[in-house]
Amino acid sequence: MLQGLQDLGSAYLSFMTPMTLLYGLGGAFVGLVMGILPGLSATLAIALLTTMTMSLDGNVAILVLICSYVGALYGGSRTAILLNIPGTAANAASCADGYALAQQGQAGRAIGIATSGAVTSTLLGVVFLATLTPLLANVALKFGAFEFFWLALFGVTLSGSIVGGDPLKGWMMGLVGLLLAQVGEESLYAYQRFTFGSEALAGGIGLIPALVGAFGLAEVLMALSDPIERKIHDLTDSVLPRWRDLIQYRWTVLRSGLIGVFTGLLPGVGEDAGAWVSYAAAKAVSKEREKFGKGSIDGLMAAETGDMSSVPGHLVPVLSLGVPGSAPSAVLMAAMIIHGVQPGPMLIVEHPQFIYHVVAMTTLASFAILLFGLFGVRPMLQVLKVPRNILMPIVFLLCAVGAFAVASRLFDIYVMVAIGIGAYFLRRRGYEMAPLVLGLVLGPLLDKSLRRGLVLSDGSLVPFFTRPISLVLATITIFMFLLYVPQFRRAVAGVGKTIARGARSALGRSGI
Amino acid sequence: MNSAEPTHATETAEPQHDGDSDATASPRADLYDAIGWVILGVVVVVLSLQMDRLQDRHINPLTVPGLVPGLLGVGMTIVGAILGLRSWSRGALHQALPAVAENQRKRRLRVLLAVILCCGYSAVLLGHGLPFWVASSIYVTCSILVFDRMSSDPVKRRIGLLTVAKALLIGVLSSVAVWLVFERLFLVRLP
């Protein structure tokens, strides 16, 4: 315990140099601008900055990336409030009440609420990041191939069902992602799969080119294809954070913060889920339920705190299990690997300090967004006035640079373009890209774990279901999957109601 | 949920695209998707079965390289078939694809041009000896001019000498800025 606090203290001190703080602010600034621009996501911000920060010291580079991650999610609420378009997917829940407040001439107040909620919830999430990561990492040390197989499958199952509204299309994208991850030389016998004799394909599909394509180019095409350009809402009142609102809605902040962290822990559940679940929970218990969707402070606070606290939540499984929960955390994990830190169960053994460094970085990121929230909102909104005809070609330029820079291969630019065009058409047909990314990230883990497990068990499937942790993960995965079968879902709901009735009558009899 | 609600279309009038919402996710479109996914799934299964079993290395037959891709192919076939059945139950065979509205036609043309410009930049201009900033300047300038020409605003649609000069200036400045920041400041190799 004391050792942990000492490590945390030295981690904070290690970042207290003017240059490092400046890099952090720079990362948050880029993230904020990306978040403000509709469509440009936290994923793209991290992917582009990964290439830019390759020559920096590992810890400084990760600081820049975490600051841009937090900054992008925070920046995304600006367009949700002013344009009714979420800057990132995670800010969609902020649209309803944020835009309604803007229409009532309270856009500045809505932005102030977003700032105070974002800072508080990120700091709340940081506490959980510091306490849960070492605990989970100790459990993860007991994980073997069998457990990792179930974890990877659980991630894909969840991503298919929760991201977007159509589980079938989500699972299909998850399967496509897993399939793309099989391209190239496999890790067990060095056999080349789906390469069709191409040397370039033997190296596999790079995560960063694929992500830049799916989230960058697809978005460029989305923006350029729209014949109508939206106009920004006027910002007339003060944008300073409203701490009084924060105190008044403290239970909403606490509840949504906890929901955000715990949805963040689940592999495959993006930041948007944290926001939506928090919003739904706030609506269920709020005294001003009728105002939800019409400019409710409670609703906006819940949505903003839910998505921001999920950022530290997402970092917990990345660090302790090596399994990212969302697309931005997947790129962040790839960046950590590029900088010589392998996230996963062995992290606590090989780089025990790193966990505390990430805690310090996330804290700094929340202070960076507070600083920009206090002083930088109005000037940064000017970026929304740049016509998309000018902005989008420049974004594509950055996409090409981002795809090329990691491995200096032209082939990666072609991959980015192919995946970007494919992603555009799939998105137009109702397919989400987040499950594809998760499949791409979890594909190698799934393949390696399944076949390594089968080697260890000499071809027997029994250990996949009999080892204690495996059994728990298998039960949860199969249960989650079966919940999408209507008959099973109805049966579970029936059992739930019977238990609730039984509990109520038992409590009534005992006079409690 | 899917934007297409479960409906058995009985009306004779063809629904119109508004151009904003993507009506291509209609039951009929889902049915076409499902056919494509099933074909892809079957192709993946066949390719997986054709992969080397590495018998000469005496490996466990359950750990062959084609195992996971094969399972994924089966998964894709099953999910594709369920998608097909769902779209059929939602009236895919009775409901035609929505007629394409003017807005949608414009959208298609714009995306086609954007794709041509992006592909031209990536495949022709980059990596064939042209300096990065020159290739990028050409791409950005052309993109700005093409989409100005496509604008719904008649003033913007007029391409004069001043518009070309402005687009060229933005193209060169942005490309040089990207080149300086990435290659000179952050020492990143550019194509």
What is the distance in angstroms between the Cα of B134 and the nearest Cα belonging to chain A?
Answer: 12
Name residues 162-181 of chain A within 8 A of B (Cβ).
165-166, 168-169, 171-172, 175-176, 178-179
For the residues A380-386, what does the mean pLDDT come to?
77
Name residues 160-189 of chain B within 8 A of A (Cβ).
170, 174-175, 178, 181-182, 186-189
| Residues A493, A458 within the same domain | no
pLDDT at A439: 86
**Sign of the four-CA dihedral A413, A416, A419, A423:** negative
Across the interface, which of A182, A227, A397 has its CB nearest the CB of B152? A227
Please report how many Cα atoms fall inside a 13 Å half-sphere around the Cα of residue A52, on the Cβ side: 23
- Which of A11-36 are b and which e, b meaning 16 or more Cβ less than 10 Å from the residue's Cβ? bbeebeeeebeebbbbbbbbbbbbbb
pLDDT tops 80 at residue A361: yes
Contact B60 A459 (CB under 8 A): yes
| Residues A446, A480 within the same domain | no
- Which of A369-400 are b and which e, b meaning 16 or more Cβ less than 10 Å from the residue's Cβ? bbebbeebbeebbeebeeebbbbbbbbbbbbb
Per-residue confidence band for A99, with pLDDT thresholds at 50, 70 and 90: confident
Contact A188 B65 (CB under 8 A): yes
Name residues 312-331 of chain A within 8 A of B (Cβ).
none
| Residues A383, A500 within the same domain | no
Among A114-128, A221-235, A352-366, the minimum mean pLDDT is found in A221-235
pLDDT tops 60 at residue A284: yes
- Average pLDDT score over chain A: 85
| Residues A500, A395 within the same domain | no
Contact A225 B114 (CB under 8 A): yes
pLDDT higher at A177 or A229: A177
Name residues 47-106 of chain A within 8 A of B (Cβ).
51-55
Chain B residue numbers with beta carbons less than 8 Å from the beta carbon of A421 are 115, 118
Among A246-250, B66-70, B71-75, the minimum mean pLDDT is found in A246-250
> In this complex, is the C-beta atom of B124 within 8 Å of any C-beta atom belonging to chain A?
no
Determine the Cα–Cα distance for residues A161 and A484; give it in Å rounded to an integer.
8
pLDDT at B120: 96
pLDDT at A349: 84
pLDDT higher at A240 or B85: B85
For the residues A491-505, what does the mean pLDDT come to?
82
Contact B67 A394 (CB under 8 A): no
| Residues A441, A496 within the same domain | no
For the residues A206-211, what does the mean pLDDT come to?
86
| Residues A403, A332 within the same domain | yes
| Residues A436, A378 within the same domain | yes
For the residues A18-43, what does the mean pLDDT come to?
87
pLDDT tops 80 at residue A263: yes
For the residues B172-182, what does the mean pLDDT come to?
93
Per-residue confidence band for A35, with pLDDT thresholds at 50, 70 and 90: confident
- Average pLDDT score over chain B: 84
Domain ranges (residues) in chain B:
1-100, 102-185
Nearest of A100, A382, A336 to residue A208 by alpha carbon: A336
pLDDT at A250: 87
Per-residue confidence band for B106, with pLDDT thresholds at 50, 70 and 90: confident
pLDDT tops 60 at residue A386: yes
> In this complex, is the C-beta atom of B85 within 8 Å of any C-beta atom belonging to chain A?
no
In degrees and rounded to multiples of 5, residue A193 shows phi and psi of -110, 140
| Residues A178, A243 within the same domain | yes
Across the interface, which of A53, A225, A416 has its CB nearest the CB of B111? A225
pLDDT at B19: 41
| Residue of A23, A217, A429, A484 to mutate when probing chain B, most B C-beta within 10 A | A429
pLDDT at A161: 58
Contact A429 B110 (CB under 8 A): no
pLDDT higher at A48 or A69: A69
pLDDT tops 60 at residue A163: no
Per-residue confidence band for A346, with pLDDT thresholds at 50, 70 and 90: confident
Among A301-315, A332-346, A412-426, A479-493, the minimum mean pLDDT is found in A479-493
pLDDT at B11: 35
| Residues A385, A488 within the same domain | no
CB A75, CB A383: distance < 8 Å: no
Whole-prediction pTM: 0.83
Per-residue confidence band for B21, with pLDDT thresholds at 50, 70 and 90: very low
| Residues A253, A352 within the same domain | yes
Per-residue confidence band for A98, with pLDDT thresholds at 50, 70 and 90: confident
> In this complex, is the C-beta atom of A234 within 8 Å of any C-beta atom belonging to chain B?
no
Return the percentage of chain B with pLDDT > 90, whole number.
55
pLDDT tops 60 at residue B150: yes
Task: DSSP for chain B, please give it.
Answer: --SS-------SSPPBP-SSS-GGGSHHHHHHHHHHHHHHHHHHHHHHHTS---GGGT--GGG-TTHHHHHHHHHHHHHHHHHHHHHHHTTTTTSPPPBPPHHHHHHHHHHHHHHHHHHIIIIIITTSSS-HHHHHHHHHHHHHHHHHHT-SSHHHH---HHHHHHHHHHHHHHHHHHHIIIIIIS-----
Determine the Cα–Cα distance for residues B155 and B153; give it in Å rounded to an integer.
6
For the residues B105-118, what does the mean pLDDT come to?
93
> In this complex, is the C-beta atom of B80 within 8 Å of any C-beta atom belonging to chain A?
yes
For the residues B166-191, what does the mean pLDDT come to?
90
CB A110, CB A81: distance < 8 Å: yes
For the residues B7-25, what does the mean pLDDT come to?
42
For the residues A76-98, what does the mean pLDDT come to?
77
pLDDT tops 60 at residue A319: yes
Q: Could you give the residue ranges of the DSSP H alpha helices within A163-270?
A: 167-181, 199-202, 207-211, 218-225, 243-248, 250-265
Contact A54 B24 (CB under 8 A): no
pLDDT at A304: 87
For the residues A28-47, what does the mean pLDDT come to?
84
Across the interface, which of B47, B126, B143 has its CB nearest the CB of A413? B126
Among A494-503, B16-25, B87-96, B154-163, the minimum mean pLDDT is found in B16-25
pLDDT at A396: 93
> Per the structure, how many domains does chain A have?
2
In degrees and rounded to multiples of 5, residue B99 shows phi and psi of -65, 150
Domain span at A286: 2-466
| Residues A353, A438 within the same domain | yes
pLDDT tops 50 at residue B7: no
Per-residue confidence band for A159, with pLDDT thresholds at 50, 70 and 90: low
Across the interface, which of B2, B44, B122 has its CB nearest the CB of A413? B122
| Residues A449, A397 within the same domain | yes
pLDDT at A268: 63
Measured in whole angstroms, the distance separating CA A41 from the mean position of its chain's CA atoms is 10
pLDDT at B128: 87
For the residues A385-409, what does the mean pLDDT come to?
88
pLDDT at B94: 82
Return the percentage of chain A with pLDDT > 90, whole number.
25
pLDDT tops 50 at residue A160: yes
pLDDT at A421: 96
Termini Cα distance of chain A: 40
Return the percentage of chain A with pLDDT > 70, whole number.
93
Per-residue confidence band for B20, with pLDDT thresholds at 50, 70 and 90: very low
> In this complex, is the C-beta atom of B60 within 8 Å of any C-beta atom belonging to chain A?
yes
